[in-house]
């Protein structure tokens, strides 16, 4: 059964996501969609409503379903799925979740990753973040939530560009590139920002595996961190990052590469340890892995404490074969992450060699 793509739409208060979503709701692209808005949402849809579908869901005049989320997100998505199966609401092919302006999207993504129903019936199609072209830089300076929203985005849309100067927009683009080098960055109103392009962001589809993995990973846009093999774990404070940029965002974005195949169990232990000890500081992790004893690459994708189940690609993209792990972190030292990976990988290799020797 094909999983339902789920898009998270977020952005700080006044960033323009209300205007964006209202505009999208008028397009044919959303005619077969369900929109979930939490109880503190800013979007007014009354002038689109024509009939009630359930106590919490309404059907818009273009056939789109709109629901208000008053409890757990996982519960709302589970209920909506079974209402679709029971034909209590129109059949929908995608879901859009609109968050509040003050929402930290990481717990939302965590919820999507940790609930069995979510993994069985839905797939993350991407995180879209609206950033105010006029006040975005100030919001990034003052509000941690705005920084974290930008850090976890797959696509960033700069809004209100008609109100801001060219210098303001250029400075904001530079700032956003420092926070999240791999995100697709566009202005609302640009030709490539039509409804379909916005909704079909660049998160990896582990079911169909049709996405260009290099486009999804964008490893070349991140600072490359060299792994010093066999040096052991660093004694430095693991939550004292050297990646803090001049704005004090406390966000580090880097790529760790390995040129040789890795023991899968050793890598998993390293990632599990990082998630257990530093989970709230791991905003996003994604990577393509060259696993010992396997001809095809594996793909991983995680948020904070949780990881999507790994999947195997049909082949290596463009014949390159190298492990690339992209991290976006907050208040973490890149060298500590690299040395943690090396420590557990070396331990796994040594264990294998000992077992073979015996």
User: Does residue 58 surpass a pLDDT of 60?
Assistant: no
- Give SS3 for 31: coil
Residues 182 and 135 in one domain: yes
User: Does residue 126 surpass a pLDDT of 70?
Assistant: yes
Q: What is the pLDDT of residue 240?
A: 45
Buried b (16+ CB within 10 A) or exposed e, 258-279: beeebbbbbbbbbbeebbeebe
Pick the last residue of a domain from 199, 230, 258: 199
Least confident of 55-64, 108-117, 177-186, 255-264: 55-64
User: Does residue 191 surpass a pLDDT of 50?
Assistant: no
Residues 134 and 244 in one domain: no
Q: Does 116 map to a domain?
A: yes
For residue 80, which of 69, 286, 14 has the smallest C-alpha distance? 69
Average confidence (pLDDT) over 268-292: 87
Residues 225 and 151 in one domain: no
- Give SS3 for 148: helix
Residues 170 and 61 in one domain: yes
Phi and psi angles of residue 156, each rounded to the nearest 5 degrees, phi first: -115, 130
In sequence order, which residues have a C-beta less than 8 Å from that of residue 340 and are 6 or more positions away? 233, 270, 273, 274
Query: Which carries the bigger pLDDT value, residue 279 or residue 236?
Result: 279
Q: What is the pLDDT of residue 135?
A: 92
User: Does residue 82 surpass a pLDDT of 50?
Assistant: yes
- Paired with 170 in beta bridges are none
Residue 239 DSSP one-character state: T
User: Does residue 209 surpass a pLDDT of 80?
Assistant: no
Residues 299 and 341 in one domain: yes
Most trustworthy range by pLDDT among 50-64, 78-92, 263-277: 263-277
Contact (Cβ atoms closer than 8 angstroms) between residue 326 and residue 204? no
Residues 66 and 175 in one domain: yes
Least confident of 18-27, 253-262, 281-290, 295-304: 18-27
Tokens 């090396």 identify what position?
Answer: 342
Q: Does 206 map to a domain?
A: no
Q: Does 204 map to a domain?
A: no
Residues 141 and 14 in one domain: yes
User: Does residue 111 surpass a pLDDT of 80?
Assistant: no
User: Does residue 182 surpass a pLDDT of 70?
Assistant: yes
Position 290 confidence tier, pLDDT thresholds 50, 70, 90: very high
Q: What is the pLDDT of residue 129?
A: 92
Least confident of 68-72, 95-99, 103-107, 108-112: 68-72
Most trustworthy range by pLDDT among 33-37, 73-77, 95-99, 164-168: 164-168
Residue 86 DSSP one-character state: T
Angle at 232 between CA 226 and CA 238, to 5 degrees: 75
Contact (Cβ atoms closer than 8 angstroms) between residue 43 and residue 18? yes
Q: What is the pLDDT of residue 264?
A: 94
Q: Does 207 map to a domain?
A: no
Residues 30 and 123 in one domain: yes
Q: Does 205 map to a domain?
A: no
Q: What is the pLDDT of residue 83?
A: 85
Residues 247 and 280 in one domain: yes
Structural domain that includes position 105: 4-199
Residues 99 and 176 in one domain: yes
Contact (Cβ atoms closer than 8 angstroms) between residue 186 and residue 155? yes
H/E element, 306: strand 306-307
Total structural domains within the chain: 2
Q: Does 208 map to a domain?
A: no
Query: Which carries the bigger pLDDT value, residue 81 or residue 357?
Result: 81
Average confidence (pLDDT) over 143-171: 90
Q: Does 246 map to a domain?
A: yes
- What whole-number distance in Å separates Cα of residue 283 and Cα of residue 151? 7
Position 180 confidence tier, pLDDT thresholds 50, 70, 90: very high
Query: Which carries the bigger pLDDT value, residue 207 or residue 131?
Result: 131
- What whole-number distance in Å separates Cα of residue 44 and Cα of residue 35? 13
User: Does residue 247 surpass a pLDDT of 60?
Assistant: no
Residues 193 and 141 in one domain: yes
Residues 181 and 324 in one domain: no
Pick the last residue of a domain from 145, 177, 199: 199
Average confidence (pLDDT) over 186-214: 59
User: Does residue 189 surpass a pLDDT of 70?
Assistant: no
Tokens 């709701």 identify what position?
Answer: 25
- What whole-number distance in Å separates Cα of residue 286 and Cα of residue 255? 10
* CATH, residue 343: 3.30.1220.10
Contact (Cβ atoms closer than 8 angstroms) between residue 64 and residue 108? no
Tokens of 67: 């629901």
Q: Does 225 map to a domain?
A: yes
User: Does residue 184 surpass a pLDDT of 80?
Assistant: yes
Pick the last residue of a domain from 199, 222, 247: 199
* CATH, residue 35: 3.40.50.300
Share of the chain above pLDDT 70, in %: 74
- What whole-number distance in Å separates Cα of residue 325 and Cα of residue 189? 33
């Amino acid at each position: 059964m094909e999983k339902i793509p789920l898009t998270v739409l977020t952005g700080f208060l006044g960033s323009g996501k209300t205007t964006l979503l209202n505009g999208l709701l008028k397009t044919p692209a959303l005619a077969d969609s369900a929109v979930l808005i939490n109880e503190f949402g800013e979007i007014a849809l009354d002038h689109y409503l024509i009939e009630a579908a359930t106590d919490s869901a309404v059907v818009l005049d273009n056939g789109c379903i709109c629901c208000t989320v008053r409890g757990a997100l996982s519960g709302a998505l589970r209920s909506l799925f079974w209402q679709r199966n029971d034909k209590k609401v129109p059949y929908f092919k995608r879901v859009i979740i609109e968050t509040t302006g003050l929402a930290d999207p990481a717990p939302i993504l965590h919820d999507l990753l940790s609930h069995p129903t979510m993994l069985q019936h839905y797939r993350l199609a991407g995180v879209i973040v609206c950033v105010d072209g006029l006040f975005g830089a100030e919001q990034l300076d003052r509000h941690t939530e705005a920084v974290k929203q930008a850090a976890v985005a797959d696509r960033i849309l700069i809004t209100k560009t008609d109100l801001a100067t060219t210098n303001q927009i250029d400075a904001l683009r530079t700032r956003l590139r420092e926070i999240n080098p791999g995100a697709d960055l566009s202005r609302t109103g640009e030709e490539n920002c039509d409804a379909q392009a916005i909704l079909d962001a660049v998160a990896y589809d582990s079911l169909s595996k049709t996405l260009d993995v290099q486009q999804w990973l964008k490893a070349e846009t991140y600072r490359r961190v060299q792994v010093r093999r066999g040096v052991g774990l660093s004694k430095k404070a693991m939550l004292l990052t050297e990646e803090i940029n001049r704005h004090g965002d406390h966000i580090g974005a880097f790529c760790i590469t390995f040129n040789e195949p890795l023991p899968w169990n050793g890598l998993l232990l390293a990632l599990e340890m990082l998630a257990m000890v530093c989970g709230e500081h791991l905003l996003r992790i994604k990577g393509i892995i060259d696993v010992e004893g396997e001809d095809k690459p594996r793909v991983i994708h995680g948020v904070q404490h949780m990881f999507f189940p790994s999947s195997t690609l049909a082949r290596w993209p463009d014949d390159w074969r190298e492990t690339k792990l992209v991290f976006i972190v907050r208040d973490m030292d890149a060298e500590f992450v690299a040395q943690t990976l090396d420590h557990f990988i070396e331990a796994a290799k040594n264990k294998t060699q000992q077992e073979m020797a015996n």
